[in-house]
Structure 1
């Protein structure tokens, strides 16, 4: 329901939808910030209209957890990827979809809409590349086993044809298409999520308590302490790279904007009642959305959000 707020400290959400997923696992905004897609453990997919956050549509998309969502270039099509090993391309106007089957459960997803490329990470450590044809169909282009265990994070470089991957094996790889693979210095704990800076000079990851920052020119790694008290499950850039949105789980459910230079808290948001699942910032930075094991989807309209709840110095 809308307008229900927790007593937890931090900027309250503009809209809270309670009980919409058995546990939330994926989020994506469309290019013009008018829709939010959310997915959860039970494979249910919801579309929320912005700015009010009303539900536009709901479909049973997958037989297992939805582990990736992404809008394609014009926003009329949505990709969902699930632990059932299927990748679906949805026509949002018709409410219909086409399905592509993979050999292993899908654990992560990344789309480079401008180049028409999609990458799926899998439970067996493989990464599959797909070409998006006519904005609505997929054609497999290649596959490599880059990790010995589950693929956790995927991110496309903003400038060059390069895909960053992280796995439960603790390795972080750069796949410079079509061929070369470079391994970055390993972080102290495996990286759950990945994000490139807009200029492509740095790659960021997230682990227990810390952000990981790789300077790509020298392939050096810095680990930045944060106020999180658990594993940082998801990160995403916003504000023209002025901050990294983050959410954590295990012993923590905090939602922050973090300084990408230092890891310090710039802004605190309302915590979830249970472990954090996913965080997303809309393309032009108007909205923040989160979901969690508490089954809620929360949306902040940052134009309306109070400007308090800062936190530098943590």
Structure 2
């Protein structure tokens, strides 16, 4: 996962880290790294931008908004490398809430499209995320109470017509709420949480300033989408630790949770930010149809385009959130 932070000052720092390309940090170097972080924190507060893959990170760098910091081009900490630089009008990026003085988090990346009214290449800025990866796999022969769960997936509903009348041995999935801890709640007292809400103020900034943004339509000169992509603010998203490439499960998510996108990180980033009392927003470009396609998943074909459109929206949001924070 990559992280980027943006402060509310004229001089801004950006830190980015990808799990797949992180370097090991020897214990003997930790003190040096912490001293560098302390120096950087004197420039705070920062807004954190968090992304996931090299494609998304490269798309952000390709916007031209990032320039390496002259003194500290990167910081290595706990096996991760944070690249440090300046962002055009206003912002910085880092991650690590425990080490950097943050003002908020911007999480961005690509996602699967679960909503038939949306298209590949579109950018979504959801108002909330459900963790749809937390469920009980129930015994098909046991009695159970559906009211204990926020949604139920019954595998019998997906049997082929001639299934000899027997039950599907996969049984049921019962979707649970998350046990949410936050600094505003009582210590060691979790609250059941289905929807993790992004920050309303930041969502309003996005709705006011980003809807109508000109997004790219073509991967290259010979491969273009049939329609111009659009940016939509205020839908819902889902997160689970699985890549969704199945039309039946895609439809289940839309019908039962009314979500428009599926990814593997957003709810964790949002809940972590909320637990620490930090503003957070998520910007996701739709790279594929999450299984509705007739052939091969479109992620490999249109992922780079979705990442570029996401990065474009991120940079514009950073410029506007700086103005919002300064007002």
Normalised-by-shorter TM-score class: under 0.3
Q: Whose RCO is larger (CA < 8 A, sep 6+)?
A: 2
Choose 1 or 2 for highest CA Rg: 2
Whichever structure has more strand as a proportion of its residues is 1
TM-score of the pair, normalised by structure 2 = 0.25
